[in-house]
Amino acid sequence: MLQRKLGAFYKPRRPGAEQCSRARVVVRAKAQAAAEKEVRPGVYEGYWTWKGHQIRYQRSGDQGTPVLLVHGFGGNADHWRKNTPELAKSGHRAFAIDLLGYGYSDKPDPKAAPPNTIYTFENFGDQLVDFIKERIGGEPTFVICNSVGGLAGLQASIVAPELVQGVQCIDISLRGLHVKRQPAWQRPFVAAFQRFLRETDAGKAFFGNVATERTVGNILRQAYGRKEAVTPELVQAILAPGLRPGAVDVFLDFISYSGGPLPEDLMAATTRPVSILWGEADPWENMHEGRRLFSPLPSVVEFVTLPGVGHCPQDEAPELVNPLIERFVAAYSAGGGGAAALTHVPASSARA
Whether the pLDDT of residue 343 is over 80: the answer is no
Cα(321)–Cα(195) distance, rounded to whole angstroms? 38
Query: What percent of the chain stands above pLDDT 90?
Result: 85
Contact 310, 226 (CB under 8 A): yes
CA-closest candidate to residue 170, choices 198, 195, 142, 189: 142
User: For 30-83, what is each residue's pLDDT tens digit?
Assistant: 666 668 999 999 999 999 999 999 999 999 999 999 999 999 999 999 999 999
Domain locations in the chain? Answer: 7-177+262-349
User: For 161-200, what is each residue's pLDDT tens digit?
Assistant: 999 999 999 999 999 999 999 999 999 999 999 999 999 9
If you average pLDDT over residues 275-294, what whole number do you get? 98
User: For 223-266, what is each residue's pLDDT tens digit?
Assistant: 999 999 999 999 999 999 999 999 999 999 999 999 999 999 99
**pLDDT band per the 50, 70, 90 thresholds, residue 334:** confident
Domain 7-177+262-349 has CATH 3.40.50.720: no
pTM: 0.89
User: For 316-332, what is each residue's pLDDT tens digit?
Assistant: 999 999 999 999 999 99
In the chain, alpha helices (H)? 17-34, 84-89, 121-134, 149-159, 187-199, 201-210, 213-223, 232-242, 247-255, 263-269, 287-294, 313-316, 318-332
Give the max Cα distance, the chain: 60
167 burial type by CB count under 10 A (0-12 exposed, 13-18 middle, 19+ buried): buried
What are the b/e assignments for 257-268, b being 16+ CB within 10 Å?
A: bbebbbbbebbb
